Amino acid sequence: MMATYGRVVRRSAALTGAVAAVCVAVCAALGGAKGLYGALIGVAIVTAFFGISVLVVGRAAKISPQVMMAAAMISYVVKIIGFAIVVILLGKSTAFNGRMLGFTAIICILAWGVAEVVTTIKLKIPYVEPDGSGKA
């Protein structure tokens, strides 16, 4: 289970990294320095939030599937609240382009989600793991 999860995370991170690099270049070209800063902040937020999920769910998966699901749900709620706080704190800043931040964050989130779905479908992970006891 953990090896499969690791493969999904690695592929998702690789695709998102490539997409993030393109987004940063586009935002820098269109928005100048402020566009570049906005894009870099967007990438940092997405990286931090997905990194939290990877760490929390990865550690919880070592305990049990039930703990993993609870950890995923709790980390999701905490990240939504954290994101709201970050948006409120950064909302009034003029040091970066907020539209470029939003554009980069949305594109990176979509890239991560698509990569997770496509990788999971291609790996054909069984949703029931046989216990080997032979009981039906």
pLDDT in tens, 109-129: 999 999 988 988 888 766 666
Q: Is the pLDDT of residue 134 over 60?
A: no
Query: Which structural domain, as residue segments, surrounds residue 11?
Result: 2-123
Question: What is the DSSP code string of 31-72?
Answer: HHHHHHHHHHHHHHHHHHHHHHHHHHHHHHHTT-HHHHHHHH
Residue 17 lies in a domain: yes
Q: Does 135 reside within a domain?
A: no
Q: What is the pLDDT of residue 27?
A: 96
Tokens of 27: 């935002």
Q: Which two tokens stand for residue 21?
A: 């690099």
Query: Is 132 inside a domain boundary?
Result: no
136 within some domain: no
Assigned domain for 33 exists? yes
Per the CB < 8 A criterion, the answer to whether 95 and 34 are in contact is yes
- Contact between 101 and 91 under an 8 Å Cβ cutoff? The reply is no
Q: What is the pLDDT of residues 79-111, one digit of tens each?
A: 889 888 988 888 888 889 989 999 999 999 999
Structural domain contains residue 128: no
- What whole-number distance in Å separates Cα of residue 28 and Cα of residue 40? 10
In a domain? residue 78: yes
* Number of structural domains found in the chain: 1
